Amino acid sequence: ALQAVIFDLDGVITDTAEYHYIAWKKLGESLDIPFDREFNEQLKGISREKSLARILRLGGKEHVYSAEEKEEFAHRKNEHYVSLLNSLTPEHTYPGIRELLLELQASGIPAVIASASKNAPQILRALELETMFSYVVHPDSVPRGKPAPDLFLRGAEEVGADIEACIGIEDAQAGIEAIKSAGMIAIGIGEEAGLKASGADVVLKDTKQLSLSFLERTLQE
């Protein structure tokens, strides 16, 4: 039986993935490194520092700036991103998510957050969801980010769940890879092709179809 559900945050619980895109795009443009949504897919689930490194590499500028300058760029992106978070309200929770969390709570199945974001607690507060999760893994508390399995393994460990009885839910290719290398069942949310290629067991277009009975069926298959 299902023992824990480990959720990604950005792009699964709410649309903060769009805010990340807006903030990185603006920073990229200020450095003369424009990019589109397709490139942005590679930044999903990836830490702030690694995302910046990928953008600089795209522009052939990975060796142009000092460590202090890079820190300032990451800081500037985060300030913009956090200012966009101010408009976040409980209504911004993706469809079906609150209902699923209530079902899990009623069944005593822990819900866990395994996000690469250092802003996760603030986002959960803005959505008024912070009491719905048994544990939020802090990205700095594990050695490796996604696509390594560390965040998901730590999440399962913290709630005492067996790996094979856990389901991970992700919108990013790096996140699906992380769930699969942890040995869990992976549900992808979004574009089928990329998520399937990364190993997702099932892909849903959006979060509307998520329910406890869907998760239980997926685990049994």
* Residue 20 lies near ligand B16 (rule: CB under 6 A): yes
Residue from 172, 200, 210, 219 in contact with ligand B16 (CB under 6 A): 172
Active site residue 10: yes
Q: Which is nearer to ligand B16, 33 or 46 (CB)?
A: 46
**β-pairing verdict for 202-204 and 4-7:** unpaired
**Least gap, CB of 94 to Mg ion (angstroms):** 11
**Sign of the C-alpha dihedral computed for residues 189, 192, 197 and 201 taken in this order:** positive
List 8, 150, 177, 201, residue binding ligand B16 (CB under 6 A)? 8
Is 41 near Mg ion (CB under 5 A)?
no
Q: Which is nearer to ligand B16, 15 or 216 (CB)?
A: 15
**Is 112 within 8 Å of 155 (Cβ atoms)?**
yes
User: What residues are paired with 188 via a beta bridge?
Assistant: 170, 203
Least distance to ligand B16 from the beta carbon of 114, Å? 7
Alpha helices in the chain (DSSP H): 16-30, 37-40, 48-58, 67-85, 97-107, 120-126, 150-158, 173-182, 192-197, 212-220
| Active-site amino acid positions | 8, 10
- The binding site for Mg ion (CB under 5 A) comprises 8, 10-11, 171-172
